[in-house]
Amino acid sequence: MRRFLVCVAMVLAMGALLLSACSRKDTGIQFWHAMGGPLGDTLDVMIAQYNSTHPGTEIQSIGNANYEALSQKIMGAVAAGQPPVLAQVYEAWTAELIENESIESLTDFINGPNGLSQEELADFLPGMLENNTWDGVLYSVPFNKSVRALYWNKDLFATAGLTRAPRTWAEYTDYARRLTKDQDGDGLVDQWGTAGEISAWMFENMLVQNGGSILTPDGTATAFDRPEGVQALEFMVKLLTEYGKVTGGYEYQNDFQAGKVGMIEGSTVSLSFMQGKYTFDMATAPLPVGKQAGCLVAGTNVVIFADAPTQHKEAAWEFIRWFTSPEVTARWAAATGYAPVRKSAMELPIMKARFGEVEGWGDVFAQFGFAGYEPRSPEWYAGRKALQEVGVESALRKQKTPAEALAAAAAAVNAELRAE
Amino acid sequence: MGATATIRGASFYRAQRAGSRVALYAGLWIGVIVMVVPFFWMVATSLKSPIEILEFPPTWIPTGQFAKTASGAWEEVYVASRDRDAGTVAVRSAAGGPARVLPASDVRSSVRLRFSNYAAAWRQAPFARYYLNTVFIVLCTLAGQLVTSALAAYAFARMRFPGRDVIFLLFLSMMMVPEPVYIVPSYIILAKLGWINTYQAMIVPWLAYIFNIFMLRQHFKTIPDDLYDAAIIDGCSRFAFLWRVVLPLSKAVLAAVVIFTVVSTWNSFLWPLVMTNTPDVRPLQVGLARFAQEQGTNHELMMAAAVFSIAPLVVAYFFAQKQIIQSLATSGIKG
């Protein structure tokens, strides 16, 4: 009994010690994001630099591990009337936040004394600002935008007699076929041409390359189940199941890094992660061209919440202006693989140096110049999941033909779109 | 004749006993392997280089590749490819640069344990603070849960009041609700209380835990009514009966509650992640998430951090092992 009481006393003493330490108030400008690993480290360093050069403001970098947790946290905070000042959000969340009048229009900031000139606005990469504009009002700025890249193993390509990355769909399957080998002669394939995960994003890119589109122009019905989409999915299934393997999670990336796979498609951000973790000669290339070159941008934007005090909102805008300035966005892009959001950033020495370090990287980034965007309604956010799980997955697992799989996915997505 | 039969019988039984013992040990060994292999794998991974982690077939013991340099010293390298027919190996130095081809005899592999991963992982985040936070949250939650679970279970098991069974069923039905469903409403409540980013946010909502109440109630119900009647006749109060009779008879279940509560609180992730913002209150599990990013995970650092995050639990178990097994073995009379 006495020992028990001693324990309780110790707990209380420790509690008093700790609680006194945590009673301080948060005074900084909270920026909620979901950047982890090296990406989070890069962001933290940049924010620390900003704070040290801007006395009087403190941007607090608050990492939330993943987008799922971030979304729940934002929902709760907005409902409780206690949002942060800045947060990373997907377009579908922005649409809902606008509806609830929870976020600030950026128009006044842009036109204000500390705003952006017409030349500066025109310097943003094509589509980036349009993608953040709702009914003519800019509500968010692009933060971490990526496109897909082709990563290829030069050593494996050389042993297969290949000297460059595939440029067309025909070359894509042909090279993948030539890279698929049984090295030790046991009758089983042990080197694959390519590999990939079950990814709606990969299919959507191929859909665009094949001249298709995800939804009809008015956004009320699916278009991915039309012949262009069926052909694109047939191509993807052939590529990944005949000359490649479909893996869960990032296993395909691990297999590529281990030198078991000739080439993979991945996000431009993957480079920052793979860097230094392979022993072969690696190069990058833009995605192979189908009927046309095409790719879709993924990633989130940053918003300012309406409930924050005015001086916090102004400080938050100042931070956004700094972060999207050519020099800073170029630094961010060089370190992470995300897009530099400004055209002029592509010409800066830091980006040029990066393009020099990684073979093909300049051509990969040139894709941002013509990249498209996904539909951004909250209905599509749910619909995309159906496309991935009902459409792409059942086709890659050969449970359905691509045509059947897309028809089933279209039915699910259309139900979602009509529920609006 | 009779004697021979007896001897035969004895050896037969001895053989049978030996046979069942072999089966028993085989079963136990399977159990050991199932429990230990993931643990061993975690430790092994935490000592590898990022390149070795991706190797297939995987290495069980972390291994490094070393190549002979011109001066005859051995330098650590990465093997890019092996040509078995020519008997050569292409290697790259750890610092990068072009591959060089060496005869296979100039490249050897040997055990290479990278303890530096631990230092690197430890430096990535304020883990000392995370430890302190986790221990504090676990102890407070545990103390609270023991009190509330014992009292609630006692009421459900022994006292009669209107609506008791309905309330108990309501409690049970709450166990079916998954965390993502109630996390946003919980956030709103905690935000209105001004508790976001505080220890209370991680402790107070967890001071009562239905599964523990359920477990204790089931056990309390097995304690015979005779004991209760005898105690009351002798002038024992209800609380004294709980304190002096029921709880001492429930050590085994209480031990289970303690283990369950400590492990689940120690491992809790989503709740503390959403309810806190800054490292000064965040627990270990949230700190671990730092090693994962959008396009992959730093496995070697994450495993190193995982090892030192669960080490205190393992050490505590070794020290308390005797008590835990004893309490499970001497759980008193059952009804």
Spatial contact of A280 and A153, defined as CB atoms under 8 Å apart: yes
Which A positions 231-250 lie with beta carbon below 8 A of chain B?
Answer: 250
**Number of neighbouring beta carbons within 10 Å of residue B21:** 10
Of A15, A37, A81, the CB nearest to B140: A15
pLDDT value of residue A324: 96
Residues B240 and B252: their CA atoms lie apart, in Å, by 20
> Residue A23's pLDDT band (boundaries 50, 70, 90)?
very low
Yes or no, beta carbons of A273 and B54 under 8 Å apart: no
Nearest CA-CA distance, residue A69 and chain B, Å:
6
Chain A residue numbers touching B280 (CB-CB < 8 A): 21-22
pLDDT value of residue A276: 81
Q: Does B51 touch chain A (CB under 8 A)?
A: yes
Tell me, what DSSP letter sits at residue B246?
A: I
Same domain, B145 and B106: no
Same domain, B155 and B213: yes
pLDDT value of residue A9: 64
Q: Which of A18, A154, A181 to mutate to test the interface with B (most CBs of B within 10 A)?
A: A18
- Average of pLDDT values for B327-333? 57
Nearest CA-CA distance, residue B11 and chain A, Å:
51
Same domain, B179 and B291: yes
Nearest Cα to Cα of residue A341 among A128, A191, A71, A186: A128
Residue written as token pair 């009379």: B333
Residue B4 lies in a domain: yes
Spatial contact of B92 and A279, defined as CB atoms under 8 Å apart: yes
Residues A302 and A113: their CA atoms lie apart, in Å, by 21
Model confidence at B159: pLDDT above 60? yes
Same domain, B106 and B127: no
ipTM for the predicted complex comes to: 0.83
Q: Does A63 touch chain B (CB under 8 A)?
A: yes
Yes or no, beta carbons of A69 and B274 under 8 Å apart: yes
Model confidence at B296: pLDDT above 80? no
Same domain, B31 and B136: no
Residues A304 and A320: their CA atoms lie apart, in Å, by 9
pLDDT value of residue B103: 86
CB–CB contacts below 8 A, A to B: 142
**Number of neighbouring beta carbons within 10 Å of residue B190:** 23
Of A72, A253, A277, the CB nearest to B183: A72
Same domain, B228 and B124: yes
pLDDT value of residue A50: 96
Q: Which of A171-180, B38-47, B321-330 has the lowest mean pLDDT?
A: B321-330
Nearest CA-CA distance, residue B23 and chain A, Å:
37
Task: Give A27-56 pLDDT, tens digit per residue.
Answer: 689 999 999 888 998 999 999 999 999 988
Task: Give B196-243 pLDDT, tens digit per residue.
Answer: 999 999 999 999 999 999 999 999 999 998 998 999 899 999 899 999
Spatial contact of A298 and A145, defined as CB atoms under 8 Å apart: yes
- Average of pLDDT values for A279-290? 94
Strand-strand pairing, A86-89 and A29-33: parallel
pLDDT value of residue A12: 59
* Alpha-carbon distances, residue A238 vs A117, A249, B12, B219, B239 (angstroms): 49, 20, 64, 59, 72
Of B96, B136, B293, the CB nearest to A15: B136
Residue B58 lies in a domain: no
Domain termination site, one of B54, B89, B112: B112
Task: Give B161-179 pLDDT, tens digit per residue.
Answer: 999 999 999 999 988 898 8
When computed from its CA atoms, the radius of gyration of chain A, rounded to whole angstroms, is: 24
Count of CA atoms in the C-beta half-sphere (13 A) of B182: 11
pLDDT value of residue A271: 92
pLDDT value of residue B255: 87
**Which stretch of DSSP H or E encloses residue B144?**
helix B127-158
Task: Give B84-138 pLDDT, tens digit per residue.
Answer: 778 888 887 766 667 788 888 888 888 989 999 999 999 888 999 999 999 999 9
Same domain, B188 and B238: yes
Same domain, B93 and B220: no
Q: Does B181 touch chain A (CB under 8 A)?
A: no
Q: Does A37 touch chain B (CB under 8 A)?
A: yes
Report the percentage of chain B scoring pLDDT > 70: 93
pLDDT value of residue B76: 83
pLDDT value of residue A27: 66
Tokens of B164: 């008791």
- Average of pLDDT values for B44-55? 88
Maximum alpha-carbon separation in chain B: 93
pLDDT value of residue A219: 87
**Which stretch of DSSP H or E encloses residue B17?**
helix B2-46
Q: Does B195 touch chain A (CB under 8 A)?
A: no
Nearest CA-CA distance, residue B91 and chain A, Å:
8
Nearest CA-CA distance, residue A75 and chain B, Å:
7
Residues B54 and A277: their CA atoms lie apart, in Å, by 9
pLDDT value of residue A195: 96
Burial class (CB in 10 A: 0-12, 13-18, 19+), B63: middle
Task: Give A169-215 pLDDT, tens digit per residue.
Answer: 999 999 999 999 987 778 888 899 999 999 999 999 999 999 999 99
- Average of pLDDT values for B311-318? 87
Q: Does A158 touch chain B (CB under 8 A)?
A: no
Residue B57 lies in a domain: no
Tokens of B237: 């109060």
Residue B70 lies in a domain: yes
Yes or no, beta carbons of A250 and B270 under 8 Å apart: no
Which B positions 120-139 lie with beta carbon below 8 A of chain A?
Answer: 124, 132-133, 135-136, 139
Same domain, B236 and B134: yes
Same domain, B137 and B68: no
Residues A243 and B27: their CA atoms lie apart, in Å, by 43
pLDDT value of residue A208: 97
Model confidence at A67: pLDDT above 60? yes
Number of folded domains that form chain B: 3
| CATH code at position B73 | 2.30.30.140
Task: Give B233-289 pLDDT, tens digit per residue.
Answer: 999 998 999 999 999 988 888 988 998 899 999 999 999 999 999 989 999 999 988
Task: Give A208-245 pLDDT, tens digit per residue.
Answer: 999 999 999 988 999 999 999 999 999 999 999 999 99
pLDDT, chain A, mean: 91
Could you tell me the residue range of the domain that residue B40 belongs to?
1-46
Tokens of B140: 């407070």
Strand partners, A153: A282
Same domain, B204 and B262: yes
Report the chain A residue with the minimal C-alpha distance to residue B197: A22
pLDDT value of residue A93: 93
Tokens of B89: 């190996």
Yes or no, beta carbons of A69 and B273 under 8 Å apart: yes
Coil, strand, or helix at residue A342?
A: strand
Same domain, B327 and B222: yes
Residues A34 and B206: their CA atoms lie apart, in Å, by 26
Residue B54 lies in a domain: no
Task: Give A313-363 pLDDT, tens digit per residue.
Answer: 999 999 999 999 999 999 999 999 999 999 999 999 999 999 999 999 999
> Residue A14's pLDDT band (boundaries 50, 70, 90)?
low
* Alpha-carbon distances, residue A282 vs A152, A159, A179, B196, B310 (angstroms): 6, 14, 15, 46, 38
| CATH code at position B229 | 1.10.3720.10
Q: Does B290 touch chain A (CB under 8 A)?
A: yes
When computed from its CA atoms, the radius of gyration of chain B, rounded to whole angstroms, is: 29
Spatial contact of B79 and B108, defined as CB atoms under 8 Å apart: no
Of residues A13 and B227, the one with the higher pLDDT is: B227
pLDDT value of residue A52: 95
Spatial contact of A203 and A387, defined as CB atoms under 8 Å apart: yes
Residue B56 lies in a domain: no
> Residue B29's pLDDT band (boundaries 50, 70, 90)?
very high
Q: Does B96 touch chain A (CB under 8 A)?
A: yes
Chain A residue numbers touching B298 (CB-CB < 8 A): 37
Residue B234 lies in a domain: yes
Residues A303 and A301: their CA atoms lie apart, in Å, by 7
What does A292-318 look like in DSSP terms, one character per residue? S---EEEEEEEEEBTTS-HHHHHHHHH
> Residue B332's pLDDT band (boundaries 50, 70, 90)?
very low
Give B41's contacts (C-beta < 8 A, 6+ positions apart).
none
Residues A31 and A44: their CA atoms lie apart, in Å, by 11
pLDDT value of residue B329: 66
Task: Give A390-403 pLDDT, tens digit per residue.
Answer: 999 999 999 999 99
Q: Does B50 touch chain A (CB under 8 A)?
A: yes
Residue B247 lies in a domain: yes
- Average of pLDDT values for A121-148? 95
Give A8's contacts (C-beta < 8 A, 6+ positions apart).
B143
Q: Does A6 touch chain B (CB under 8 A)?
A: no
Model confidence at B65: pLDDT above 90? no
Burial class (CB in 10 A: 0-12, 13-18, 19+), B25: exposed
Coil, strand, or helix at residue A402?
A: helix
Strand partners, B55: none
Q: Does A101 touch chain B (CB under 8 A)?
A: no
pTM for this entry = 0.86
Nearest CA-CA distance, residue B335 and chain A, Å:
27
pLDDT value of residue A24: 45
Q: Does A59 touch chain B (CB under 8 A)?
A: no
